[in-house]
Structure 1
Amino acid sequence: MCFIRDEYRQIFVNSVRYCQENKGLDVYAYCIMTSHVHMIVGSNGTNPLEGIIRDMKAFTSRSIRKALEDSNHVHESRREWMLYMMYKAGSYNANNNDFQLWQQHSQPIELTDNIIMDKNLEYIPVP
C-alpha cells in the first residue's frame, strides 16, 4: 500500500520522467495502483529496457526509504510498519543488503501484435 500517499506516487512519477528525458524510456500507458504499477513501456534504443527499469526501481526504492526514515520529511502513520515490511522483504532476498520495495522480478509481457497490445491496455484501469 505504498502508493496511497501522493508523496510516494510523485517520487515514482519523477523517476519515470527522468528516465524518459535521460535514458530513452518510452511510456505508452501506466497506472499507479496502491501497491503496484502497471506500465506499457519501451526503449528508444538509447539504453536497454531492462536497465532502465532496474534503475527506475532502484531510485524509487532508495527515495521512498529515505522519505520513510526521515521523520521530519513526511507525516506517515505507517512508517514503522512499512519500514519493517521492506526490511523483512530485503532480508529474504540474497540480492539485497537489507531493504526491498519492489518485487525482484517484474512480469514483462512482450506486446507482439495489436491484439495483445489491446488486451493489456484494457487491463490498465483508466482513472
Structure 2
Amino acid sequence: MGSNLTIREKHKPYFLTMTVVGWIDVFTRNKHKLIILNALKYCQENKGLIILGWCLMSNHLHLIATTEGDNHLSDVVRDFKKFTSKKIVSEILEGTESRKRWMIANFYYAGKYLNRVKNYKLWRDGNHALIIYSPSFFYQKLNYIHNNPVKAMIVEKPEEYLFSSARNYASKDALLDIVIESQRLVTY
C-alpha cells in the first residue's frame, strides 16, 4: 500500500475498507457476520473505537471510524483483523461450511509465503485508509457504503440492510451502536 493509504493521524476519522483475500464471499453466513459484529462491539467497549459508519458486505467491510484515549486506530484495526481472522478460520474448520476445503485452501495459499502468517490469511493487507478531511467527503463515503447493498441488489433501500449503519441514520433498530454524525464533523 502507498503511504497515502495508511492510518497516520491519531484521533482523526478514516474511511477504511477491509477486504477478504481473493474477494471470497465469507460473510454470506450469519455466524461469520456475527463474529465481525461482536468484534466491532468489543473494540468499541474496550479499545476506544468510535464508529461513524459501517457496512458489512459478502467479502469486505467498510468502516468510517476513529479512536479515543490512548488508542490508535491502526492498532485497533490490526487487532480486529487478527482476532476475526483466527475466529472465522476456526469456525470454518470446525463447522459445516460447504465451501470449507476451497476456502481453507485459498486462505492457506494467501499466507503460505508470508513469514508473519502462521497458517491462514483471511484479510488482504492494508485497509485502503482515507482520512476524512471534510464533512462533504464524510457524507460522500457514508452514502457510498450505505448504498453498497442497494447497488448489489440485496435491498431496495439502504436502511433495509441489517449489517449497516444506514439503519442508525434512519432511526431504525440497529445491530451496532454508532456515533451519528450531524453536520458537525471535526476534521482539520
Is the shorter-chain TM-score for this pair beyond 0.5, marking a shared fold? Answer: yes
2:50 is matched with which residue? 26
How many percent of aligned residue pairs carry the same amino acid?
A: 33
Give the 3-state SS of the residue equivalent to 1:29 in structure 2: strand
Report the alpha carbon displacement of residue 92 of structure 1 after superposing the two structures with TM: 3.8
Give the 3-state SS of the residue equivalent to 2:130 in structure 1: coil
Report the alpha carbon displacement of residue 119 of structure 1 after superposing the two structures with TM: 1.0
Is structure 2 residue 79 aligned with structure 1 residue 58?
no
Alpha-carbon RMSD across the aligned residues, in angstroms, is: 1.1
1:78 to 91, 99, 109: 99
1:13 to 15, 30, 37: 37
| Structure 2 counterparts to residues 32-51 of structure 1, below 5 A | 32-51=56-75
State the AA in 2 paired with 1:121. Answer: L
- Please give the TM-score of this superposition, normalised by the length of structure 1: 0.92
Aligned equivalents of 1:99, 1:49: Cα separation in 2: 24
Consecutive unaligned residues in structure 2, runs of 5 or more: 1-24, 147-157, 162-188
Post-superposition CA distance 1:89-121 (Å, at most 9, x none): 011434322310001111111001111111111
Aligned equivalents of 1:110, 1:36: Cα separation in 2: 19
1:110 to 131, 140, 148: 131
Report the alpha carbon displacement of residue 22 of structure 1 after superposing the two structures with TM: 0.3
State the AA in 1 paired with 2:39. Answer: S
Q: How many residues align?
A: 124
- Please give the TM-score of this superposition, normalised by the length of structure 2: 0.63
More relative contact order in 1 or in 2 (CA 8 Å, sep 6+)?
2
Decide which structure has the larger Cα Rg and report it: 2
Structure ranking higher in helix proportion: 1
Aligned equivalents of 2:116, 2:96: Cα separation in 1: 30
1:4 is matched with which residue? 28
Aligned equivalents of 1:113, 1:45: Cα separation in 2: 22
